[in-house]
Structure 1
Amino acid sequence: MNIFTEKKIFLDSETVAEQLRSRRQELGLKLEKIAKEISINFKYLEALEKGNFNLLPAGVYGKNFLREYAVYLKIDYRPLVKMFEKETAGSNQRQQRELFSKQVVKAHHLLAMPKIIKSIILVVVVGICLFYLSYRLKQITAVPSLNIQTPADNLITKEKSVSVTGIAEAESQLIINGESVISDTNGSFVKEVDLKKGINIISITAQKKYGRSATIKKQILVE
């Protein structure tokens, strides 16, 4: 009876890691052998014996590893699990305090930066914003690109129609002789235009939604 009581007091006075390590050494067992027999990675058993609980998998896995290891060593795992929960809770609180301290230090360093460095950073940020805004404004207000591939300038033909082909700036509205023409995703388009005898003027316009337009006119003589 006395021996049991002394053993219990001894265990309660030690950490989880110390109890596991002491019991294993008392039994004369190697950690590598135990890892193979209970199918738990050696590094996790080592973490348990060294008290590095932050190296264990998150959630209930750490507790399960502890329980299996304790059962193998013939230690009552229930008080060990309670101690494990207390020790890990304290470790988590320390980590949170350390993280908070680091954030406070970073904020302090930022506030302690020389004013000239802060001014330079502010100028750079404002400059980047202004550059982006001017670039976007230029895109919106610029004349859309428009390239007519056919027909050629001042074409003379006997045909009653002609194919108008070309490439306009993507997403611009295309109009040929007052009719809307749909282009593909690359801006390419094809439109068959009827011709009459004499001089024919074909007007091709690319219009941006919120910007300017570009117009090209082709003159065709039908004999």
Structure 2
Amino acid sequence: MKMKMKRRSLKRNQMNMKTKKKRRRKRMRAKINRNKRDNKQMTKFKTKKISSHACLGETLVSARKKREVSLREVARELRISETYLRALESGDYGKLPGDIYARNFLKSYARWLNLDWKQSLADYSLEVQLHTQTSKALDKTLDKTLYKTQGSKSGLMSVGARLVRRPSRLALSFTPRLFRQAFVGVLAALLLVYLGGKVRAIFSPPLLFVEPPAIDLVTDERTIVVSGQADRQASLLINGQPVLSDDNGHFTEVLDLADGTNLIEIAAQKKHSQPNQVTRKIVVQADEILTEE
């Protein structure tokens, strides 16, 4: 009887060992199959054509170099700050005063370089949009990386799904008195910055942009249309005569021309600021001279 019991127990142990081996083999096969499927999914790539179209800044620089002029000369001709022109060429759009003025500067610069100004404006809009999307994606990536890799090293701890910085000894010792002093200091700094900006805005010359007429224009017409845009708070003068503008600062004026050289002076000035002046020289030739030529 004892021998039979031993044999039965041995058979049971052998059956259990075989069952365990089969289960291990199944788990290993399932794991290998999952790895294969993951590898297949990772190796599926979509090919996209990369556009070789030059960026806006490269186009502007190339066109300017073909005309063999420096950026300072262009700024003097167009009456646009050299800093703004350099920002357009380098793609550093954060240095431009605003989207409206940036588009007007780009339009004037492209026309002066004999480029398609409409295409230049389209390229500008596309690059600004791509820059904004890239910045947002980069910020999200940095936040995720900080959450995963630098939580414990930088003194951060997770509370639920958020990443919260651990309170330091300095924060724990931050008394109400120190808080009041810091609050007053921040208010004083903000007040100084605000007053400085107001004073600068009051005394700095207003922005002035003139589209037509072109620089050094030669024509046989007896009238010319002068239009452009300036700050809404600025008063406009054309040859010393006041000119009205709309709510956005746009103005249009028709002037009579005389034979020979005509100088048109457009000036914009705020109440206490320095004037910003743009001059256009228009040469009117008689019909007889144009016919002989």
Q: TM-score, normalised by structure 1?
A: 0.48
Give the number of the structure whose alpha-carbon radius of gyration is greater: 1
